[in-house]
Chains A and B, each alone.
Chain A
Amino acid sequence: MPSASIARFVSAALSTVAAAMFAGHWFLGLRLDSGGRCAAADFPTCVDQGRRLEAVAILSGPAVLLAVALVIYLVRPVLERRRRVIVGVTLPAEAPLRHDVEAFASATGLRRAPLIEVGKAQEPFVYGAWPPYRLVVPVASTLNAVNRAPRDLALLAHEIGHARAGDATRYGAVIACWYASILVVVAPLAIDAWRIAQSVGVAAPQLTWRLVVVTAMLLLAVISANRAREFEADARAFQDEPAARVPIGPDRTPALVAAIGSGQHNWLRFAPSPDRRLAALADPVRRTQPAFHDAAAAGIAAGLLGTELSLLVELAFPVNVWPAYLTVALLTAVPAVGALGLPAGLPRPRVAALGLLFGSGLLIGTQLAPRASADWWRAFPAAGGRAAQMNLFAATPATAALVAVTALLIGLAVTAWAAALARHRALIWLVGVPLLAVPLATWLLALRLAAGSRWPPGAIAGVLLTPARQVPLIAVATVAAICAILRHHQVTPSLVVPAQPPGARQVLAVSALWLLTVLAVVLHPSSEQAVQDLRASAPRWDSVPPPATTNAAYACFWVNHLGPEGLPGAEEVTGLGQVGAYLSTVDDPTLRQAGTSLAGPGRAGITDWRQAAATLDLVMTRCDSLLSALDQPLPKDTK
């Protein structure tokens, strides 16, 4: 699994990108109100173009963020050089310090030794956008190398450790992302939201606090990434060959410990405290053991990305949301599984805690996502159903509790499985990604239905636990169970690692998950009743007659009153025929055209369900557009 600093970098980068996607959607999608500008003529083409523009708007956020981050990333080393390097002073070729640096670099396996510069700072440091990095040494160090000062040489070894780990690139990227997110996402979004606070209402404070929390979380990720790289550099300072120890003697431990342990430290410093560094040096397990906050951060990043990405992917699948959510979950699971990275041999309580924290992070991430701030279509009517509420507090308490518990279970199951197979990295990537992605897709969809449509738990289960949606879950759960069982048989008899848990419980857990999934599908017919009940209780096209008018605005009020659940389904041919017959009489050409299409030949209803679903979506979009563009009172005479 990747080192801790890489995992933390991934989490920070994902969170930044997710926030930037919302910023792009806000400024170029919601604020421009592109759907409302479509004229009746050639409305479908305009809507298609609107979708493309909306996708471009969402993607433009990360694009601008990355462009700004790239500039910051490239400029920072230049500024660093101007501020902290004594330009023009060159270390002679025969200087002892140069020999030391080359010896350390060679010992740690660096192909190209860092370029040495003389700096104004009191301590050496490594910087640069890419290898070979630049090692800045204080003027004093050039002479201390002559004196064989052990602390100087130990610090030098530590800095070479940084160069070997290549963390200057990652750290520079994390810092650049953070600055760019403030410049491109947080500040502009918060300012703009408050500027139009009157029209967006409570969304402005809701959006602001989320942005502040995400920014604080990113700052913690930056500090965390930096601390992780200091531990790694300390460790690398010891991971050399005996021959490489010649420059500073047979044992550099006391020197390095003295050097890092005697510095002044306060909690505001980005570097870890000397006590923690000493503890990490003394106990290597501390360096490889994932921290609790790492698991939570990985979950939050996945939740953030999944929520924001769903908006983009839904544009590609406007009719059927299941493939959209599956795509989102797969795209999210790849970095999430990487960022979660677990070493082998973790004790069970720790695995359980990490799993629960990952699951909690997943839940928190979805709620921290800027998209969850409000029902955006209320403030921006042309935003459509895609911008529906994702705030779980909008759901009924029972549904919210169920969704929250499911997030914890997903986190626990995936983490426990990954911990049991920690030694088989290829398997974790190949099976772990779909193992997380499939339930995550179902969960995200459940969250959407619970928060956006306020569906009760039974109805959500009825919609989601269909064979078509659960076959992938059964498939990945089966493969995961087989992997866990095979690993159990491989490891237990040979007792390669005595401290390794036997894995029987993991196998049982995975098998139980598999059984529950199959049962859920078997029990599906009973849960379908809940969906039918829900649909029966909602206003339906056949129970609420259409207004006796051809005015398109009144027709749209009727359509919106029914909502997607109240309109006939794509396979209800008779209903499609009747709704189509009514819409084909209204005074809006687009709705008329859609109505004719739904009515089909002889007004018997369209039989192609895909075309029906697309047309119904078009009707909803057109009505959103028409109602958002209403700028005068409706006529009293509805005849």
Chain B
Amino acid sequence: MSGEDLVRAVLSEVAPQELPHIDLVLDAYRRSPWPVVPEPDGHGHPTGAGVPVDQVASWGVFVTAFVANVLATMLVEEGVKRTGRGLLGWFRKPKPQLTTEVPRLVDEGKLAEVRAAALQAALDRGFPDSSAERFADSVATILQSRRS
């Protein structure tokens, strides 16, 4: 199961209505990745209305960033290596690889750690408690089902 497959699997549980449109989000992320939790004073439009990000959050965008950032850092360290080679690599931002295979989880402790990270990320992103719990459960369930 690749990172993208994992995104689709999680999304089918937490926001199935977004699933038909997730390809655009994945495409955009490949070209210009974004953080899981946008910075409070991020680069919004200088003349814009200043809408807080929690009011325009969508699951697809969040799940993609979570899998490619938090999860990849925890489970697929090679996936976040710099894509550039040589000297240029020092100057390039790491581009997480959503196409990289997600390894099987065999450690119960690691699974709990991933679930806790998912819950925290969703809460940080501004999702309500119940939705955040549902998201963390679905991530853990999918990774667990892959293990068995």
**Contact at A138–B49, with CB atoms within 8 Å?**
no
A494 at the interface (CB under 8 A from B): no
A151 at the interface (CB under 8 A from B): yes
**Contact at A146–B47, with CB atoms within 8 Å?**
no
* Cα separation A149 to B60 with both chains bound (whole Å): 14
**Contact at B49–A122, with CB atoms within 8 Å?**
no
One of B27, B29, B51 near A151 (C-beta < 8 A): B51
A316 at the interface (CB under 8 A from B): no
**Contact at B47–A120, with CB atoms within 8 Å?**
no
From A123, which residue of chain B is reached at the shortest CB distance? Answer: B48
A449 CB, min distance to chain B CBs, angstroms:
46
**Contact at B51–A139, with CB atoms within 8 Å?**
no
B4-27, CB under 8 A of A: which get 1 and which 0?
000000000001011001101101
B25, B42, B55, B59: residue with the most chain A Cβ atoms closer than 10 Å = B55
Query: A58-66, A81-89, A605-613: which lies at the B interface?
Result: A81-89
**Contact at B42–A142, with CB atoms within 8 Å?**
no
**Contact at B47–A271, with CB atoms within 8 Å?**
yes
Chain A residues with CB under 8 A of B43: 84, 120-122
Interface footprint category on A: 35 or more
One of B45, B49, B51, B59 near A143 (C-beta < 8 A): B59
**Contact at A122–B56, with CB atoms within 8 Å?**
yes
B31, B44, B49: residue with the most chain A Cβ atoms closer than 10 Å = B49
Chain B residues with CB under 8 A of A123: 44-45, 48-51, 56
**Contact at A118–B44, with CB atoms within 8 Å?**
no
**Contact at A139–B28, with CB atoms within 8 Å?**
yes
Q: With A151-B56, A155-B51, A259-B55 as given contacts, are A146 and B17 in contact (CB-CB < 8 Å)?
A: yes
B11 CB, min distance to chain A CBs, angstroms:
10
**Contact at A262–B27, with CB atoms within 8 Å?**
no
Chain B residues with CB under 8 A of A155: 49, 51, 56
A498 at the interface (CB under 8 A from B): no
* Cα separation A149 to B59 with both chains bound (whole Å): 12
B35 CB, min distance to chain A CBs, angstroms:
11
Chain A residues with CB under 8 A of B51: 122-123, 151, 155, 259-260, 262-263
Q: With A143-B18, A143-B21, A144-B58 as given contacts, are A122 and B53 in contact (CB-CB < 8 Å)?
A: yes
**Contact at A269–B46, with CB atoms within 8 Å?**
yes
Q: With A122-B44, A123-B44, A147-B17 as given contacts, are A139 and B25 in contact (CB-CB < 8 Å)?
A: yes
A265 at the interface (CB under 8 A from B): yes
B103 at the interface (CB under 8 A from A): no
A251-273, CB under 8 A of B: which get 1 and which 0?
00000001110111100011100
* Cα separation A395 to B44 with both chains bound (whole Å): 52
Chain A residues with CB under 8 A of B49: 123, 155, 158, 259-260, 263, 271, 274
B84 at the interface (CB under 8 A from A): no
**Contact at B24–A142, with CB atoms within 8 Å?**
yes
**Contact at A121–B48, with CB atoms within 8 Å?**
yes
* Cα separation A146 to B53 with both chains bound (whole Å): 17
**Contact at B52–A262, with CB atoms within 8 Å?**
yes
From A88, which residue of chain B is reached at the shortest CB distance? Answer: B31
**Contact at B45–A86, with CB atoms within 8 Å?**
no
From B59, which residue of chain A is reached at the shortest CB distance? Answer: A143
* Cα separation A155 to B48 with both chains bound (whole Å): 10
B57 at the interface (CB under 8 A from A): yes
A26 at the interface (CB under 8 A from B): no
**Contact at B21–A271, with CB atoms within 8 Å?**
no
Q: With A123-B49, A226-B47, A263-B51 as given contacts, are A86 and B28 in contact (CB-CB < 8 Å)?
A: yes
**Contact at B27–A89, with CB atoms within 8 Å?**
yes
B101 CB, min distance to chain A CBs, angstroms:
25
- Grouping DSSP codes into helix (H, G, I), strand (E, B) and loop, the B interface class, with mixed when no group exceeds half, is loop
**Contact at B47–A230, with CB atoms within 8 Å?**
yes
From 134 to 153 in chain A, residues with beta carbon under 8 angstroms from any chain B beta carbon are 138-144, 146-147, 149, 151-152
B87-119, CB under 8 A of A: which get 1 and which 0?
000000000000000000000000000000000
B127 at the interface (CB under 8 A from A): no
Chain A residues with CB under 8 A of B58: 140-141, 143-144, 147, 149
Interface footprint category on B: 20 to 34
A622 CB, min distance to chain B CBs, angstroms:
56
B31, B42, B48, B52: residue with the most chain A Cβ atoms closer than 10 Å = B48
A18 CB, min distance to chain B CBs, angstroms:
26
From B53, which residue of chain A is reached at the shortest CB distance? Answer: A122
One of B17, B47, B53, B57 near A125 (C-beta < 8 A): B47
Chain B residues with CB under 8 A of A84: 43, 45
One of A89, A263, A264, A270 near B31 (C-beta < 8 A): A89
A150 CB, min distance to chain B CBs, angstroms:
10
**Contact at A121–B55, with CB atoms within 8 Å?**
no
**Contact at A121–B45, with CB atoms within 8 Å?**
yes
B13 CB, min distance to chain A CBs, angstroms:
16
**Contact at B61–A139, with CB atoms within 8 Å?**
yes
A95 at the interface (CB under 8 A from B): yes
Q: With A138-B56, A151-B56, A262-B51 as given contacts, are A146 and B31 in contact (CB-CB < 8 Å)?
A: no
* Cα separation A56 to B47 with both chains bound (whole Å): 38
B130 at the interface (CB under 8 A from A): no
**Contact at B32–A86, with CB atoms within 8 Å?**
yes
Chain B residues with CB under 8 A of A142: 21, 24-25
B15, B25, B32: residue with the most chain A Cβ atoms closer than 10 Å = B32
A246 at the interface (CB under 8 A from B): no
Chain A residues with CB under 8 A of B38: 122
**Contact at A270–B47, with CB atoms within 8 Å?**
yes
**Contact at A264–B55, with CB atoms within 8 Å?**
no
A62 CB, min distance to chain B CBs, angstroms:
27
**Contact at A89–B47, with CB atoms within 8 Å?**
no
From 51 to 93 in chain A, residues with beta carbon under 8 angstroms from any chain B beta carbon are 84, 86-89, 91-92
Q: Across chains A and B, which 7 residue pairs bring their CB atoms closest together, nearest first? A: A263-B50, A143-B58, A123-B48, A125-B45, A140-B58, A86-B32, A140-B61
A-B contact pairs, 26 of them (CB 8 A): A86-B31, A87-B31, A89-B28, A92-B21, A95-B21, A95-B24, A120-B34, A122-B42, A122-B56, A123-B48, A123-B50, A125-B45, A142-B21, A143-B59, A143-B60, A146-B17, A147-B18, A151-B55, A152-B56, A158-B49, A259-B55, A263-B49, A263-B50, A264-B52, A269-B46, A269-B47
Chain B residues within 8 Å of A, Cβ to Cβ: 15, 17-18, 21-22, 24-25, 27-29, 31-32, 34, 38, 42-53, 55-61
Chain A residues within 8 Å of B, Cβ to Cβ: 84, 86-89, 91-92, 95, 118, 120-125, 138-144, 146-147, 149, 151-152, 155, 158, 171, 226, 230, 258-260, 262-265, 269-271, 274
Given contact pairs A88-B27, A147-B17, enumerate 10 new A-B contacts (beta carbons under 8 Å). Answer: A120-B34, A122-B53, A139-B24, A142-B21, A143-B59, A155-B49, A158-B49, A269-B46, A270-B46, A271-B48
